[in-house]
Structure formats: C-alpha cells, structure tokens
Amino acid sequence: TVGDWKRKRSELEKWCSDRPSIAGMKDRKTMKKCEYEKVSEALFLWFTQQRDKGMPLTGPILQEKALNFQKEFNEGKPDFTASVGWLDCWKKRYGLRQLSICGKKLSAQQEGFLKFKANFHCLIENEGLSCEQIYNCDERGLNYKMLPSKTLASWAEASAPGYKGSKERVTILACSNATGNHKLRLTFIGKAKNPRAFKNIYLVLYQFCTRIGGIHGWIQQFSEADFSMNFFLQSINLPRKAILVIDNMPSHPYEDELLSGDIRVIFLPPNITSLCQPMDHGVLEALKKKYCRKLLTTLTEVIDDGNGMLDKLRTVNIKDVIYWVAQSWDEIEPQTLARSWRKLLPKDENTQEMVQENCDNLLALLQQIPGCEKVNDDDIQEWME
C-alpha cells in the first residue's frame, strides 16, 4: 500500500487539487468517480452559489435540481431518480451537513450599518469619549425551566414519550460599558407587580411586564444607569458624559425621556442590530450558558442523591432564578464584554483579541443528565436559542 502511494503520488496530489471541495476528502478511500460526475459537480457548484446568497436548501430541492442537470447533460442511465441514497452519498462526498437556521443576520442592511458605524466613530471622536463612557444594554427572554427535547432510546422503544415542556419565561436586561469594567445591575422582568418574596433582594432591579410597566421599567433602568454611571465615572476621574446604545424597539421610550445632562441614549437604526448590537454578540448567550450550568448542577446533585429530577425542577422558583442569573452576570469576564464591541468600535479602541469563552464544562455537565449522554455542541446551540 505504501509503495502504491509513492508511485501514485503525483496522481493523488492532482486528484486532490482538482476536487471542488476538500471537506469530504477525509472519508474518501479511493479516487473512483461516481457514475454521474458532471451532475454531482454541477450540483455542488450551484449549491455553493445559492448558499453564498443565503438561500436555504433542503434535500428535495437538491434532488429536483440534480434531475434537471441530468436531463441537461444526458449523463448516465436515463432512469436516474436522484434517490435519497444517491443524495446521502453526494453529501458525504462533498462534506455537507444540516444546520438549523438561526438569527436574522441576512435581513440586516449592510449599507445602513456602515453608515451608522462611520457616524458613530465621528461622534466618539468629536465628543472625546473613551470606552469607559460607551454603554450598551439589551434584553433577552429566558425559559428558566426548559431542558433539551432530545433523548436516547433503545431499539425496542417505538417512540419516546415526553413531559409537557415548561413555558415559564422571564426577561432579563443587561447593561455594561465597552471595556467591561462596569456592569450595571441586571433588570429582571417578571409577571408579579410587587412580589413579597423579593422585599429584601437587591441583586437585580425587578420590574413587571405590562406594556405601560415596560416603558416605566426602561425609564427606571435609565435612572439607575444614570446614577451608576455618574458614580463610576467620578471614581476613575472622567467627566460626567456617556452614551447608551440601544436598539429601536417600539416599546422603548423616546430619546428626550432618556436624557440626563451629558448622559444620553442613541438608538440603533432598523435592521442592523444583528450586525453590531454588542450584547447580542456572545454576552447574553454566555450569560444563559452560565445560568444553565447552575440549573444542571442542581439537577445532577438531586440525581446523585437518588431523588427525582423532575420533582426538583418543579420546585425551582423565581427567587432561585434571580440568584442564579445574578451570579452568572457576576461571572461574565470583562474580556467577554469588551470582545462584543469589535464590530462597532474603531480598531484602535478595541481590546486585544481574546479566546472564546470555554463552554466545555456545560457540555460535560449536560451529558450527566439521563438521556443526554450523546449531546454535542450543536444541540447546546439549539437549546440556547
């Protein structure tokens, strides 16, 4: 075998260099071509062009396009059907995989983002602002009892009956500056107007979630941010001047309602938040992952004691969630917060590149839950969404 490799080295190298994709080469064992080589290569080229445009493609779409190419090239047997088996082999040959569509990046307007970024840089330069004086805040929903919906099952089980998924949900609002050295208290938005259990809890700023209360909550959050920013800027000998960048949701108050001297709000233009909203670039996801670690740690401790996991999950209340979320926010590193501003701030304002936050502990912890032994990073990403 080694002798064949040596004698055919130039042939092997040429064959590898001629491949349209190297993703599937690690599973190839021969240089044998498929029966419908032109159809396969044309289909992969068309697939690449459509994915560059962001077009979602499924198996039936690819099968129909393969049939069209076969009729055009008149290649192979006329009874070609582009079966599911042929499609599976084609996907393995080119190293393709299936992913869940997530986010709204393709709806974003790149031109609007570039224009806003240029204006934002001019504003920072004209106002003489440093990274300590630039803030961003954003809210995110949290299904605080939701567990993964996948499980392992034996071949003897025809189906995998499950439990009714918990729909209990709260909203958390996080705010920090661009250096990550000033994190404001989280705003926790629930359903109760004046929960008595929170009377002596000051870890978060609590609000209730009616429409009027939501606007009032933003104003109260800005008032607390104004006080906290003023105290922080005085402590580092900076003038009382700052800007708070937020998205342009209709439920947010007007700019004149969020103004206090030289501390003011800037709204992001429509359809660019997915490109440059700092809190959306890993911060809130890291916060949710840290919260999930605390929830899973509690459940695995119950399992180790021989008690029921679901019984423990039912006893989790809002007070527990507040403590876990507040602890998770405290554990967010300044580097994570600073790294989220890379898309928006000038290069000379950015901190050095940092390694992505390690979430391997979350994967190892989740694999201890019965039925989740073989979950992977993709499953965790789907869970977070």
Domain boundaries, the chain: 13-93, 109-147+167-384
What is the distance between the alpha carbons of residues 264 and 258, in angstroms, rounded to a whole number? 6
What would the CATH number be for the domain defined by 109-147+167-384? 3.30.420.10
Distances (CA, A) of 225 to 183, 185, 243, 247, 264: 10, 9, 11, 16, 11
Question: What's the sign of the alpha-carbon dihedral 96, 101, 102, 107?
Answer: positive
Q: Are 337 and 176 in contact (CB under 8 A)?
A: yes
The mean pLDDT value for 154-168 works out to 74
Q: Which CATH number fits domain 13-93: 1.10.10.60, 1.10.10.1150, 3.20.190.10, 1.10.1200.10?
A: 1.10.10.60
Q: Are 240 and 233 in contact (CB under 8 A)?
A: yes
Q: What is the pLDDT of residue 355?
A: 32
Structure tokens at 73: 């090239």
pLDDT at 324 over 90: yes
Q: Under DSSP, is residue 286 helix (H, G, I), strand (E, B) or coil?
A: helix
Q: What is the pLDDT of residue 326?
A: 92
Higher pLDDT, 174 or 196: 174
Report strand pairing: 134-143 vs 242-246: parallel
Report strand pairing: 259-260 vs 242-246: unpaired
- State the pLDDT confidence band at 287, using cuts at 50, 70 and 90: very high
The residue with tokens 């978060």 is 204
Other CB atoms within a 10 A radius of the CB of residue 137 amount to: 23
pLDDT at 139 over 80: yes
Higher pLDDT, 54 or 343: 343
Q: Which helix (H) or strand (E) holds 93?
A: helix 84-93
What is the distance between the alpha carbons of residues 330 and 335, in angstroms, rounded to a whole number? 13
What is the distance between the alpha carbons of residues 127 and 264, in angstroms, rounded to a whole number? 12
The mean pLDDT value for 326-331 works out to 93
Structure tokens at 315: 């006893």
Task: Please give the model's pTM, rounded to 2 decimal places.
Answer: 0.64
Q: Are 269 and 116 in contact (CB under 8 A)?
A: yes
The mean pLDDT value for 318-337 works out to 90
Q: What is the pLDDT of residues 233-275, one digit of tens each?
A: 888 888 888 988 888 776 666 666 677 778 888 888 887 777 8
The whole-chain average pLDDT of the chain stands at 80
Q: What is the pLDDT of residue 325?
A: 93
Of the candidates 373, 120, 100, 376, the residue with the CA atom closest to the CA atom of residue 245: 120
